[in-house]
Structure 1
Amino acid sequence: MFPSQESLKKNFIVPSPSADAAAPSGVGLYARFALAGAVCCGVTHGAMTPVDVVKTRIQLEPEVYNKGMIAGFRQVVQTQGAGALLTGFGPTAAGYFLQGAFKFGGYEFWKKKAIDYIGVEKASENRTAIYLGASAIAEFFADVALCPLEATRIRLVSQPTFANGLLGGFSRILKEEGVVKGFYSGFGPILFKQVPYTMAKFVVFELAAEKIYSTLPTPKDQLPPSTITSVNLGAGIIAGTAAAIISQPADTLLSKINKQKGAEGQSVSSRLVQMAGQLGVKGLFLGLGPRIVMVATLTAGQFAIYGDIKRVLGATGGVEIAK
């Protein structure tokens, strides 16, 4: 009387849960990558604002903040109150939200372009070069978005009375110094810092994650989400430590150049050379300890959050070239 299960299967198509929504592709896929990157960078950098405040103070006033990171926290709280540890939170969160969208979304985009151009097999053989190239291009555009907000953040941290927050600091710099001199005088140093930093961050993460996965008995596509998140955290710590060390000299110069205006007619390059000569090798690595703690922590958090958000959004369409 009733049709058999076999008959139903032949005559009707029962959609699976995964078929309810088509996997994103094209603009939709990269928009998800960008959103995941924006959230992971905005959240992690915002959360690390107190560490960044202390690190910046050590770089800008080494004669005052010369007893290490923990003592630096105490000094800031004792002299200015606990609220001072959140100085620059607004421009930090906003700036790195924008930067994260361009960085992570751009990295996935340019990596895919390279893979399409040379083919998956050749891309896998040259994956380190692809990781480096894609991350460098993505970071350039990310820094265009980040630079004005980073300049505002550093001014607020180095001169606490300069303005009351993001909007006040941003508008004052724009009014008094203009777009190029006020916001982009540190563009050279920020590229010098962020591009090598991001290249190291992505290539070390990709290779570290690949190595970790190779030691596991279960294939990556069969691992539970908790294990993948743990791998992202571990590889992120390794990547963040390497990236912090490589980019530390430029980070110090960036803090210095944004602390105050340059002399009339003095170029950015001459200021950088002058500052580097005055600081010396030891001075260029001021604040390295706090920065390793900060960068390793936030990098691990970024890759963990990024992976989890991608999974929630269904943004799993990236091409895998790791062996």
Structure 2
Amino acid sequence: MAEEYEYESLGSNTSMAANAIAGALAGIAEHGVMFPVDSIKTRMQVLSTHPAPYLQASLFRTMSHITMTEGTLSLWRGIQSVVLGAGPAHALYFATYEKAKEMFGGGGGGDGGWGELVGAASAGACATIASDALMNPFDVIKQRMQLPTTTPSNILRTFTTIYQTEGLRAFYISYPTTLTMTIPFQSIQFATYEFFRDKLNPGKGYDPTTHVLAGAMAGATAAAITTPLDTIKTLLQTRGTSTDPRIRQVNGLWQAATMIVDRYGWRGLVRGLKPRVLANMPSTAISWSVYEYFKWCMATEQATTL
């Protein structure tokens, strides 16, 4: 039982750096594996004056059109920005989560009741505020590179173009909306993950199957609930590429939401729901599995040195 206790309480027994390393590795693995599905989701959510018919169809029809007209590698465009940003952002994310969870009493030492779930949700919100501030510019660059283009680009060129044509504000215009989306997303994800992990594995020991299943259920639940806000965020982050003056002048969450509803009705707010859920189920499962694995490895190494 001592070994399980050390693993589960890693957040309070190890340094911030150890949690950050585990989080960085988890973040890169999470975003890298499911990046093509994320690219399809972005295409389906982008607001256009004359949307391509295939964007209104299924996920697989959208994917087929992109690969046939632009090549398979186009689905990976922008991944460099994710790799550069995801490592530091997730390092900050998980390190903040562990410390905040300890402070809010969600450290997993109790019976898995409402107090622990609220603590985990609150810790998830704190982690999100910190990590999104770092990740938001990288996400803007990523989504711009995911859009169809006839001119190959790279991170530096995309950054320079956005900065010169739209200014520094373009990298953070979606930040309030991002927080409005990701705080409930991460709170739901963390609370759901902790709930299912405790139900599937009451002993709280390291169990890869539990982490995969709990992570997948947490990711799917959080993704489905917050899709409308993600659609709004995509509009704000890609507005600079539109030729429609009204789209280019969108300034915030409510204005973006109103425009989407005007163009597509209320169903427009859930554009990209299927690929978003499909991407988040395995990516969240991967993220938690990698994170818990490295926590276990570090806890095991720590135990052998005592």
Shorter-chain-normalised TM-score: which range?
0.7 to 0.9
1:53 aligns with 2:53: no
Structure 1, 44-53 or 158-167: larger mean CA deviation: 158-167
Identify the match of residue 198 of structure 1 among 186, 189, 193: 186
In structure 2, the CA distance between the partners of 1:201 and 1:40, relative to structure 1 (3 Å rule), is same
Tell me the equivalent position of 1:3.
none
Q: Tell me by how many angstroms 1:275 deviates.
A: 2.6
Structure 2-normalised TM-score? 0.83
Number of corresponding residues: 284
Taking every aligned residue pair, what percent have the same amino acid on both sides? 24
Q: Work out whether residues 217 and 281 of structure 2, in 8 Å CA contact, stay in contact via their aligned partners in 1.
A: yes
SS of 2:56's equivalent in the other structure is coil
Q: What is the CA–CA distance in structure 2 between the aligned matches of 1:37 and 1:106, rounded to whole Å?
A: 10
Q: Which runs of 5+ in 2 are unaligned?
A: 1-8
Partners of 1:28 and 1:124 in 2: how far apart? 25
Q: 1:75: Cα distance to partner? A: 0.5
Query: Residues 219-230 of structure 1 correspond to what in structure 2 (within 5 A)?
Result: 219-221=203-205, 225=206, 228-230=207-209
Match of 1:239 in 2: 218
Task: Between the two structures, name the one with larger relative contact order (CA 8 Å, sep ≥ 6).
Answer: 2
Tell whether the 8 Å contact from 1:102 to 1:139 is kept in structure 2 after alignment: no
8 Å Cα contact 1:40-1:306 kept in structure 2: yes
Q: Which residue identity is paired with 1:280?
A: G
User: 2:148 matched to 1:169?
Assistant: no
Change (3 A) 1:177 1:115: same
The CA deviation at 1:184 is: 0.4
Q: Which string of whole-angstrom CA distances, capped at 9 and with x for unpartnered residues, describes residues 83-140 of structure 1?
A: 1111111112222223211221111111112239x9x769966112111111111101
Q: Please, what is the CA RMSD of the aligned residues?
A: 2.9
1:139 maps to 128
- Name the CA shift for 1:43/1:140 in 2 (closer, same or farther; >3 Å): same
2:88 is equivalent to residue 114 of structure 1: no
Match of 1:311 among 286, 296, 303: 296
Where do 1:1-323 residues align within 5 Å? 29-60=15-46, 61=51, 63-115=53-105, 126-161=115-150, 164-180=153-169, 182-214=170-202, 219-221=203-205, 225=206, 228-261=207-240, 267-278=251-262, 279-314=264-299
1:190-217 deviations in Å (ceiling 9; x for gaps): 1122111111111000000000113xxx
Q: How far did residue 312 of structure 1 move?
A: 1.9
Secondary structure at the residue paired with 2:120? helix
Larger radius of gyration between Structure 1 and Structure 2 = 1
Shift of 1:313: 2.5
Distance in 2, Cα, partners of 1:25 & 1:300: 20
1:33 touches 1:315 (CA, 8 Å); kept in 2? no
Unaligned runs of 5+ in 1: 1-22, 318-323
Deviation of 1:285 after TM superposition, in Å, equals 0.8
Find the aligned partners of 2:11 and 2:117 in 1 and give their Cα distance.
25
Change (3 A) 1:43 1:167: farther
Question: Are 1:38 and 1:99, in contact at CA under 8 Å, matched by a contact in 2?
Answer: yes
